[in-house]
Amino acid sequence: MAIREILTVPNPLLKQVSEPVAGVDDELRALMDDMLETMYDAPGIGLAAIQIGAPKRVIVMDLAREGEEKQPRYFVNPEIVWRSEETSGYEEGCLSVPEYYDEVQRPSKVKIRYLNYRGEAIEEDAEGLYAVCIQHEMDHLDGVLFIDHLSRLKREQAVKKVKKLKAA
């Protein structure tokens, strides 16, 4: 396993639409292992492959709280098959937009379909932080960042802040 560099805004790769993967093999598992290690090191609760420069529809996540046992989750070719009409707001952050947080409204509940680490097809309901995180990460697969849900002014402020942070 290896810790990879996390791309930050305004890196144009983050706007790229990621490609579905053909299947879960050892090479893909090695990528997911690297992604998980990179996410834990950051630290963060979710990471999409494009954030380390790999344009594949792959996500890792761990929503365990500090002190709890780790609960790594892996999502290959995830799809949202149902969204609730009800929405909730959550103050989001992103490893690609470090040190910037703002509230985003998203459907409160979703039903998702994906392949797991072993390549098994899973269908699952998500709500609460899980629903927020999976929707945030799935946006990355389509080249969308959480700041794209904000006003243009806020988005520009966020990018400016990150540029300054990176230059320091």
For binding to Zn ion (CB under 5 A), which residues are involved? 94
Residue nearest to Zn ion (CB): 94
DSSP string of 81-142, one letter each residue: EEE-S-EEEEEEEETTEEEEEEEEEEESEEEEEEE-TT--EEEEEEEHHHHHHHHHHHHHHT
Query: 76 or 94, CB closer to Zn ion?
Result: 94
CB of 83 to Zn ion, least distance (A): 19
CB of 85 to Zn ion, least distance (A): 25
What is d(CA 124, CA 106) in angstroms, rounded to the nearest whole number? 18
CB of 112 to Zn ion, least distance (A): 17
Local structure of 22: helix, strand or coil = coil
Catalytic residue among 5, 37, 91, 137: 137
Q: Is 5 a catalytic residue?
A: no
Query: 51 or 120, CB closer to Zn ion?
Result: 51
Secondary structure in 3-state letters for 96-112: CEEEEEEEEEEECEEEE
The residues annotated with a catalytic role in the active site are 137
